[in-house]
Structure 1
Amino acid sequence: MSDLDRLRHAMRVTERPGATVDLAAVMRDGRRLRTRRRVAGAGAATLATGLVAAIVAVVVGALPDDPRTVERPTQVAVAPPPVAVPPTASHPLGPTPTTTPGRGEPSPSPVGQIVDSGIRHGSDQRVFYVVQVSVPGEPRVTIGLAAGRRAPDGTVTTDLLVNDVEGADRSPGFHQIGYDSGGSGAPVPTFGYFVGPAQQIIGTVDGRQVGARLARWSADKQVVIFWFDPAKLAPGDKLDGIVARDGSDRRL
């Protein structure tokens, strides 16, 4: 029999005639019942709290899947886009190695004797001559080679000028080679100069060899001026190779 049943039984005893009530037992059983109710109530509250926590945990865990819930995007650090840096502009080392004087510009004065090539443009002679040049920062470049025309009255017109842009203009070997640029109206033969004891200069183009004509500069016999006959090498055609040989046919 539970405590509650015993209490109810004690109270029903008072309803029977002549029954004697044990007040001490009734009070004792009543206190015991209230105590157990309080304990049970605390346990129920604890159980309810646990259930609420479990429900909250389940609901929170389900939030990402709830279509009514707006999920805030995770903030991710994004690097700034790369900035394109323009390439550094390249600057030519001094003047262009091949130049064509403009109309109205005075022709540079020849240094030493003018070389007559034997080629004619109407009444004009095709001539070659050395001129003075100045290249900033290159103190050992002081001369260039010009291709021009000399009129019957002796007037010289420069069509093309070539010069080194670095190093030394008297160093042994080949220096800048001039090719026809098509701007003079009179085709300019391929020409240049070599420093050394050259007796032959042979160019190669399209697998065939073409010999050049030679003349030494009057101011320095080590400077050998050469040019190719336009009938054998068309003006403007680029050489595939070029060699110089001495009097013993040795390659320089």
Structure 2
Amino acid sequence: MSELDRLRHAMRATERPDAMLDLATVMREGRRLRTRRRVAGAGAATLASGLAAVVVVVALGARPDDPPPTERPPPVAVAPPSAGVSPMMPDSTPPPTMASGEPPPKPLGQVIDSGVRHGTDQRVYYVVGVSVPGQPRVSIGLAAGRRAPDGRLTTDLLVNGVEGSDRSPGFHEIGYDERSSGEPVPTFGYFVGPAQRIIGTVDGRQVDARLARWSVDKQVVIFWFDPGKLTPGERLDGIIARDGSGRRL
């Protein structure tokens, strides 16, 4: 018999004129029922909070005209210079890959000079070929490296997608340098589309990225942040792109 049935049974005495109301039983069963309801209510509140969180995540991606910048940066996928990477859990972030003394991957198209210098070396970015098992539409990655005065390249970080298409419109992987040593790599990534301006947000502060188009495909916009405005390795809270008319992409 459930608590509700026992409560009803205790109160059924009121239906007979000659019966006495068992007040103690009614109060005891009533307390049990209220306790059960409180426990159920707490579980329902937890479920409601979880559903609210899902709605917020969906809204961020579904409202392109919201006040900028609110879009979350893409997840990071870091690969060795000569290979692709396997799919990761959404919340996992592997450590950056450093150069291991092997010859750097051959650039596809022109090497982009960022304007940042490390001694006599130039900080450069360039697109390279990658191969991800089972993902035929992922064939390029973006490398951050250094170019010596004699033209020799050293690759510091390489990021690439792990699923879908590497030419799909929008933001792709963003590279963060989380190393404790070596020459710091300014935060970088690429966007596919007619972007003329890319704006990142960190701690409520907006930071404009520097842009350059890939010589092989002008729809691929490579961007990086001035290390004097955004500390290498510091995570962005949001990032957006705008076209030449200021419209959010």
When normalised by structure 1's length, the TM-score is 0.61
Per-residue deviation at 1:100?
1.7
Q: 1:97–1:163: 8 Å Cα contact kept in structure 2?
A: no
- Choose from 187, 199, 202 the match for 2:199: 202
Q: 1:179–1:237: 8 Å Cα contact kept in structure 2?
A: yes
Instruction: In structure 2, list runs of 5 or more residues that go unmatched.
Output: 1-84
Q: Could you tell me which amino acid in structure 2 is paired with residue 206 of structure 1?
A: D
Within the alignment, does 1:189 sit opposite 2:183 as a pair? Answer: no
Distance change (3 Å), C-alpha of 1:222 and 1:242: same
- Choose from 70, 83, 93 the match for 2:87: 93
Query: Partner of 2:78 in structure 1?
Result: none
**SS of 1:125 mapped into structure 2:** strand
Query: Partner of 1:79 in structure 2?
Result: none
Q: Could you tell me which amino acid in structure 2 is paired with residue 198 of structure 1?
A: A
- Choose from 173, 177, 189 the match for 1:176: 173
Runs of 4+ residues deviating >6 angstroms: none
Distance change (3 Å), C-alpha of 1:133 and 1:183: farther
Higher relative contact order (CA 8 A, sep 6+): 2
Higher mean alpha-carbon deviation, 180-189 vs 169-178, is at 180-189
Bigger radius of gyration: 1
Within the alignment, does 1:245 sit opposite 2:239 as a pair? Answer: no
**SS of 1:220 mapped into structure 2:** coil
**SS of 1:154 mapped into structure 2:** coil
When normalised by structure 2's length, the TM-score is 0.62
Higher mean alpha-carbon deviation, 180-189 vs 161-170, is at 180-189
Q: Could you tell me which amino acid in structure 1 is paired with residue 87 of structure 2?
A: L
1:182-207 deviation digits (Å, cap 9, x = unpaired): 16600000000000000000000000
Distance change (3 Å), C-alpha of 1:212 and 1:102: closer
Q: Could you tell me which amino acid in structure 1 is paired with residue 191 of structure 2?
A: F
- Choose from 119, 140, 145 the match for 1:143: 140
Instruction: In structure 1, list runs of 5 or more residues that go unmatched.
Output: 1-90
Higher mean alpha-carbon deviation, 161-170 vs 178-187, is at 178-187
- Choose from 222, 226, 231 the match for 1:229: 226
1:47-97 deviation digits (Å, cap 9, x = unpaired): xxxxxxxxxxxxxxxxxxxxxxxxxxxxxxxxxxxxxxxxxxxx9428x88
Q: 1:97–1:176: 8 Å Cα contact kept in structure 2?
A: no
Distance change (3 Å), C-alpha of 1:102 and 1:215: closer
Q: Could you tell me which amino acid in structure 2 is paired with residue 194 of structure 1?
A: F
Query: Partner of 1:220 in structure 2?
Result: 217
Per-residue deviation at 1:103?
2.2
Per-residue deviation at 1:106?
1.5
Within the alignment, does 1:131 sit opposite 2:128 as a pair? Answer: yes
Q: 1:217–1:224: 8 Å Cα contact kept in structure 2?
A: yes
Q: 1:117–1:126: 8 Å Cα contact kept in structure 2?
A: yes
Q: 2:99–2:155: 8 Å Cα contact kept in structure 1?
A: no
**SS of 2:219 mapped into structure 1:** strand
Between the aligned residues of both structures, percent identity stands at 76
Aligned partners of 2:87, 2:195: CA distance in 1, in Å?
29
Q: 1:101–1:107: 8 Å Cα contact kept in structure 2?
A: no
